Structure 1
Amino acid sequence: MSARTRVWPGIPYPLGATWDGKGVNFALFSAHAEKVELCLFDSSGQREIERLVLAENTDQIWHGYVPGLWPGALYGYRVSGPYEPQIGHRFNHHKLLLDPYAKQFYGSLHLRDEHCGYQVGHRDADLSFDTRDSARDMLKCVVVDTRYNWEGDRSPDGPWSRTLIYETHVRGFTIRHEGVPHHLRGTFAGLAHPEVIKYLQSLGITAIELMPVHAFVDDRFLTDRGLRNYWGYNTLCFFAPETRYLSGGDLVEFKTMVKRLHDAGIEVLLDVVYNHTAEGDQMGPTLSFKGIDNASYYRLLPHDRRHYINDTGCGNTLNLMHPRVLQMVMDSLRYWVNEMHVDGFRFDLAVTLGREEYGYDRAGGFFDAIRQDPAMSRVKVIAEPWDIGPGGYQLGSFPAGTTEWNDRFRDTVRRFWRGDDGMLSKLAPNLLASSDLFEHDCRRPWATVNYIASHDGFTLADLVSYNERHNEANGEQNRDGHPSNFSNNHGVEGLTTDPGIRQIRLRQRRNMLATVLLAQGTPMLLAGDEFGRSQQGNNNAYCQDNEINWLNWDNPTPDEREFLDFVRRLINLRRDHPVLRRPRFMHGLQASKTTGLRDVDWISPGGSTMSDYHWQEPKARCFGLLLAGDAGEHFTADGYPETDDALLIIFNAGPATTPFRMPSVRGAGHWRCLLDTTQPQLASGELLLDNGGEFQMESWAVTVFALVMTDTD
């Protein structure tokens, strides 16, 4: 045996393949394996050149050190043990397995029958045993050198109160961008291109949230239909970036993207999927975890361990109650923070992550691990607060330090602008950061992530253009996707040349985005909503790697250019007025020393504080939100007092113009209009109203006024 292939004992930590400058240490957890073999491949990844037994097992970690092995080496594992699905074991040494801690993969994976541990089509289904070797058509793990020159890199570390999240997809965002060189489009390098970063800066966003970039798999039922898993919620490995997003196949590309975005003052957040994996249920492939230690990595039904608990709807549920599985997730998160310098995470189906034996627990092991971890305690943590398991809807029930996607805000705002009855009392708490849900445990207003559209559902443009979903291209007879969208096509389903309908659609888009950006909390914008991106009515475009999902940057119409300018004005308005992003919940209790106004008040069209009658009137569509800029104690991140003008935001979701009397405030000179969704080009201050004067509030509109005091007039 040569010096290079002699396997030394090595050490059990860290897990994965670790190069130390002289060789590589390999460490793999498996509590139930009987034998672990390390398989090395030639540079093509097609020929297995050596198979080395990892004979050492310390605390259920199989380990060995291979001297003389260098970064770039390709490897995988074969793990032997019992094949007894009835008790949870699915070992099959004929299947090449991926290292759960692999940092990079080589090749591409197209699922075949050979990737299954059982014989596909056998009468015994998954109880049968397949002896075909899967190595040739399997991805290969790559030994990597993680060193990178981060000199000068510094996270923007933006405060939550100033955060504006921009949700986008690495491929879809740049694949049609003419300013990005063709060979870089759809990649991390494309996202780091100066033209792209300049656009993000001009828009005014502070954090970009990337849909899944962990290595993932195209589901076989999709590829059989000529489709792909475009969204990426089908994770194969929690450490390796998806190879299709690497233009040059090097990890440096991701790090360079992060560094350039940081230089531009933009944080990088990752949408991560630790609730399930790409291996599916008992009929799914054996690619990694299932063949390494199925009974440890997955939650299995207690009285039928052949089958998986499926709280995710994706076939399996990762077992975060197992300490080694929880360790893997935490090691992954620390890796992306410490080695890749990302600034936070959005946890897909986060309720699953908090499930214990007895159900969801916001004081569960995963959340405890997050809160005490030195790396994770300093980054942004966002939860998707639901899954499909028992008690799976947990909006507002996450622990301190967590923000949450607020779908109640989304649906309430949609229904209000659709013109549904009885929405005033439902909308009001959402405009004030939903304190009824989020004020517990000393959480702050930014705990709610407010949005009108996300990757999952209609885009903003489709929300005002379609009454029904149109998912036929997905090949599921239009049965997939959520049936309730609270949308309004305003008279015609889909595209129209009718100028009246086109104008009301534009106005409603302005109204809904204004509601998001003028509300307390953390706003989120879906990429492309700022210039009319459409998915042709598809509200579940997870499998469409084509023009349905790709952003179209070509020659926007004059209306869309005007809309983009309006969105920039709206974002700047939020940035310039701290009263729109208060660090504490407001309850109308604190008063301004200057004007006597309460920190927050609700104004009826008659100019007075709203009564129970106004709140309970089902046909009421118009009201005002009055925010006193100098009421209460508010401070900047540097500790300086932060005051602002009093702002009056008037909403009218009714079909008729409504006379609205401006509040009469002591010491005030007049009200200055800052923004009007019916006149998107109206300059700030172009419209002035007397203190206590009457204003004709247009139908389907949002208008923002600032109070000008007499001595500053």
Structure 2
Amino acid sequence: MDATTSPEAPRPVVRPLVRPTARRSHVPPLGVHVTPDGVDVAVVASHATAVDLCLVDVVDPGLPETDPARYRERRVPLLGPTYGVWHAHVPGVRPGQRYGFRAHGPWDPRAGMRHNPAKLLVDPYARGLVGSVTYGPEVLGAVGHLRGDDPTTPDGRWWVAEPYGDPDPTDSLPFVPHSVVMPPMPQAPPLTRPRVPWAETVVYEAHVRGFTLLDPAVPEPLRGTYAGMAHPATIAYLRDLGITTLELLPIHASVSEPRLVAHGLTNYWGYSTLGFFAPEPRYATRAAQEAGPAAVLDEVRGMVHLLHEAGIEVVLDVVYNHTCEGGDDQLHLSWRGLDNPLYYLHDGGTPAALADVTGTGNTLDFRRPRVIQMALDSLRYWAQEVGVDGFRFDLATTLGRGSYGFTAEHPFLVALQTDPVLSGLKLIAEPWDVGPGGWQTGSFPPPMAEWNDRFRDAVRGFWLASAAAGAAGRPMEGVRELSTRLAGSADLFGHSDPPLVRGPVASVNYVTAHDGFTLADLVAYDRKHNWANGEDNRDGTGNNLSWNHGVEGHSAGDDTATEPWSAVVPMRRRSQRNLLAMLLLAAGTPMITAGDEVGRSQQGNNNAYAQDSEISWVRRDHDDAARDLLATTRFLLGLRREHPALRADSFFLGAPRRGETRTDLLWFTETGEQMDTRAWDEPGRRVVQMLRPGPGETDCDVLLVLNGRLDDLDVKLPPLLEGAGPWERVWSSTWDAPEEPAGEERCSGSATMDALSVQVFLARRG
């Protein structure tokens, strides 16, 4: 077969009446949209010579999904291309109709051309999907072969394509998901967003399935679903905890990588997108799945509406940097078959090869206007039609890459700042990718906030990695880096024109996230234990900045009455409280990972992306330690909520603000004297007091006292500010629960600080 031509799919072509949708100066919106007498269709395929709309009917539902006789296909040739878009108006097509596309054109992989009309392609703008991928040679664009860890056994083997091989002639229709024509969106109640100010925002990162799957307070049919996330019991839990903003791991339709499926695993996190407009149907209730994509979408919209009624915002983790199709030897489901040179970033060499700055095998090319349009159209759809309140952009550096690397003036980032729909939402960047110049923390433009990995590393480094070094007799780092992070990271986020406009709220502070150790595992493991992932523990980072406090792993029940646990467990619990205090009381926007507030463990797995199991799910059978940690988290969030001094909306000046007489931030040594240059430069300084005056005449001043040393010491509290006092200790990380233990010594200008501990004091005014 000539490598520059594509095989013709064997199915007959049925040509119902079509008519042009418009003149060359205008094409309909991309996707398939219902009109009174049919549908308008438009799809980008700028290098194709012809595109067919394929209408798929299930004629024998009793047959297996992979049996070709189950389906009937009707093909409608589209008109075009008009500026790279193929389009038509097709009468008689109604909501619920399955469809896909077949793209004709050159098959020349060495030039990046991969048109193969034997493959039914998902509409990139599909708002509903049915079916699943059946992994085999049928879903590859080129002829393939089996690959695996052990080629002598069938287990653990999967099909891969020859990157520059001949096109595979097998019809993929029975083996791939089908797009579905969706009805016009039903009228929803008026959209009333909670609009939580950034300074009051507390983000909670959760997985739709894993968060409620084990919750006995949620009815069993709703567990692990969109409806379960909006159940009154779930909402009550979030509100009682003090959460304002629920950040959901990806809910765009996704598929798992062939290697995972071959090993009996799935891409649990969902960072493998198949549809940027369609919700993942697996997270819907069974009733909604059986009713079809429109019911799945209704369930998602209902979830958002009910969370809004409770005053909780919904932010979606979105993955526009790559797709599920993987590298050139992987899946051929949508973008690759429609317009491979347009959608995917290539290295510019010959033969053509994908440029991978995401670590997934492919990268969407954000130098292309059509790629930017697809992302913006998707964002507006979820914001306007579904009602979500914001987005967290996975590997956001990729989205700002132009011809010469990352730029904050990239058209996509400019659009986010200026779009009348998107600019008013909560926009959060994960400010890195794995390409050249990939670390860009602090470089994104307002109104975007950013995950602050420097905060994560400073907190872990001070309280865990450095403490472990000290316990082994090695030098420990000082407080300088940690203090900068507690004060809002102005060194990262203060650069702007004019300066300091973003404020500390641009820093999304976190100690853990879905990617990495949980809070409980940070204090129980020195090394990752990712054996369940099937990669011989090679995956996941080795730079965890964790500390097992002397023993690797968790005990059965953490029995504190026996050695070595009697010494290890209390210190581990204190370390968790230290980390929580830094997270929840620092300047910036705190993000909690679901389950950290109850000590959830992943058994030392720091890359649980493939673990749809109890390794990842949040348990609800809490023991006393979990209940104490939950109460502590609620208490610290309550402090943040009640005291304006803990919710800084603008960077500290180290001087009085306009209209005020008190300096907005003060630092003191353990002797109660103000920190000077010599104190800040003191090697290994591990004690500091951070005083944040209340901004009003009746607000409390808040004092955080940190002892990062391995021994106890007496600390002299700083002098009271005018009109305030006396100092009242309200919390100590040495307390198992937030209530002060009976018999605890009262403070009178000084405090005894246990090793590796934090105390919080208030001085009331008015």
- Cα distance between partner residues in 1 of 2:139 and 2:89: 28
Who is 1:175 aligned against? 213
- Cα distance between partner residues in 1 of 2:636 and 2:679: 28
- Cα distance between partner residues in 1 of 2:747 and 2:461: 33
Contact kept? 2:629, 2:737, Cα under 8 Å: no
2:623 is the alignment partner of 1:623: no
Who is 1:219 aligned against? 257
- Cα distance between partner residues in 2 of 1:591 and 1:286: 59
Give how far 1:304 is off: 2.6
AA aligned to 2:370 is: R
- Cα distance between partner residues in 2 of 1:125 and 1:409: 42
Contact kept? 1:383, 1:404, Cα under 8 Å: yes
2:539 is the alignment partner of 1:480: yes
Q: Partner of 1:674: helix, strand, or coil?
A: strand
- Map 1:50-65 onto structure 2 (within 5 A): 50-65=74-89
More divergent stretch after superposition (133-142 vs 416-425): 416-425
- Map 1:280-429 onto structure 2 (within 5 A): 280-304=326-350, 306-418=352-464, 419=467, 421-429=476-484
CA deviation map 1:654-699 (0-9, x unaligned): 22111111112345441111211112445489979677x2211122
Who is 1:603 aligned against? 668
2:172 is the alignment partner of 1:134: yes
- Cα distance between partner residues in 2 of 1:48 and 1:351: 44
CA deviation map 1:206-233 (0-9, x unaligned): 0000111111111100010111001111
2:548 is the alignment partner of 1:489: yes
CA 1:621–1:592 in 2, change beyond 3 Å: closer, same or farther?
farther
2:48 is the alignment partner of 1:33: yes
2:623 is the alignment partner of 1:528: no
- Cα distance between partner residues in 1 of 2:523 and 2:44: 51
- Map 1:675-694 onto structure 2 (within 5 A): 675-681=731-737, 683=739, 693-694=749-750
Q: Partner of 1:126: helix, strand, or coil?
A: coil
Give how far 1:591 is off: 6.8
- Cα distance between partner residues in 1 of 2:311 and 2:726: 37
CA 1:42–1:642 in 2, change beyond 3 Å: closer, same or farther?
farther
- Cα distance between partner residues in 2 of 1:708 and 1:690: 15
Q: Partner of 1:562: helix, strand, or coil?
A: helix
AA aligned to 1:296 is: L
Q: Partner of 1:127: helix, strand, or coil?
A: coil
CA deviation map 1:578-623 (0-9, x unaligned): 11111110031117999x6521111100001113333233332221
Contact kept? 1:578, 1:643, Cα under 8 Å: no
- Cα distance between partner residues in 2 of 1:593 and 1:73: 64
Q: Partner of 2:541: helix, strand, or coil?
A: coil
Contact kept? 2:728, 2:747, Cα under 8 Å: no
Contact kept? 1:212, 1:232, Cα under 8 Å: yes
AA aligned to 2:588 is: G
Contact kept? 2:110, 2:164, Cα under 8 Å: no
- Map 1:58-77 onto structure 2 (within 5 A): 58-77=82-101
Unaligned runs of 5+ in 2: 1-11, 146-159, 290-294, 470-475, 560-564
- Cα distance between partner residues in 1 of 2:410 and 2:506: 19
- Map 1:532-611 onto structure 2 (within 5 A): 532-554=599-621, 556-590=622-656, 597-611=662-676
Give how far 1:422 is off: 2.3
Residue 677 of structure 2: which of 595, 607, 612 is its match? Answer: 612
More divergent stretch after superposition (445-454 vs 12-21): 12-21
- Cα distance between partner residues in 2 of 1:391 and 1:607: 43
Unaligned runs of 5+ in 1: 631-640
Give how far 1:153 is off: 3.8
Give how far 1:57 is off: 3.1
- Cα distance between partner residues in 2 of 1:300 and 1:307: 6
Give how far 1:507 is off: 1.0
Give how far 1:380 is off: 0.6
Q: Partner of 1:290: helix, strand, or coil?
A: helix
Who is 2:5 aligned against? none
CA 1:682–1:664 in 2, change beyond 3 Å: closer, same or farther?
same
2:714 is the alignment partner of 1:648: no
Who is 1:638 aligned against? none
Who is 1:508 aligned against? 575
State the superposition RMSD in angstroms.
2.2
2:759 is the alignment partner of 1:707: no
AA aligned to 2:28 is: Y
Contact kept? 2:141, 2:161, Cα under 8 Å: no
Contact kept? 2:161, 2:329, Cα under 8 Å: no
In the superposition, the TM-score normalised over structure 1's length comes to: 0.94
Contact kept? 2:162, 2:329, Cα under 8 Å: no
More divergent stretch after superposition (674-683 vs 362-371): 674-683
Who is 1:80 aligned against? 104
CA deviation map 1:245-285 (0-9, x unaligned): 12213210000000000001000000000001111111111
Who is 1:634 aligned against? none
- Cα distance between partner residues in 2 of 1:374 and 1:99: 27
- Cα distance between partner residues in 1 of 2:629 and 2:284: 33
Q: Partner of 2:316: helix, strand, or coil?
A: strand
- Cα distance between partner residues in 2 of 1:424 and 1:386: 26
CA 1:168–1:111 in 2, change beyond 3 Å: closer, same or farther?
same
CA 1:645–1:59 in 2, change beyond 3 Å: closer, same or farther?
same
CA 1:319–1:305 in 2, change beyond 3 Å: closer, same or farther?
farther
CA deviation map 1:9-31 (0-9, x unaligned): 22522110101233111111111
AA aligned to 2:624 is: P
- Cα distance between partner residues in 1 of 2:168 and 2:643: 65
CA 1:444–1:550 in 2, change beyond 3 Å: closer, same or farther?
same
Give how far 1:36 is off: 0.6
- Cα distance between partner residues in 2 of 1:351 and 1:436: 19
- Cα distance between partner residues in 1 of 2:89 and 2:161: 43
Give how far 1:289 is off: 0.4
- Cα distance between partner residues in 1 of 2:244 and 2:302: 18
CA deviation map 1:84-138 (0-9, x unaligned): 1111110000000000000010112232211111100399653222111000111
Contact kept? 1:671, 1:688, Cα under 8 Å: no
CA 1:592–1:667 in 2, change beyond 3 Å: closer, same or farther?
farther
AA aligned to 2:444 is: F
Contact kept? 2:112, 2:341, Cα under 8 Å: yes
- Cα distance between partner residues in 1 of 2:599 and 2:681: 35
Give how far 1:5 is off: 3.8
2:19 is the alignment partner of 1:8: yes
Q: Partner of 2:423: helix, strand, or coil?
A: helix
AA aligned to 1:433 is: G
2:32 is the alignment partner of 1:21: no
Who is 1:262 aligned against? 308
Who is 1:671 aligned against? 727
CA deviation map 1:168-197 (0-9, x unaligned): 101111111112222222111111111111
Who is 1:635 aligned against? none
- Cα distance between partner residues in 2 of 1:613 and 1:415: 22
AA aligned to 2:566 is: P
AA aligned to 1:274 is: Y
CA 1:162–1:669 in 2, change beyond 3 Å: closer, same or farther?
closer
- Cα distance between partner residues in 2 of 1:331 and 1:319: 16
> How high is the sequence identity, in percent, across the aligned residues?
45
Who is 1:205 aligned against? 243
In the superposition, the TM-score normalised over structure 2's length comes to: 0.88
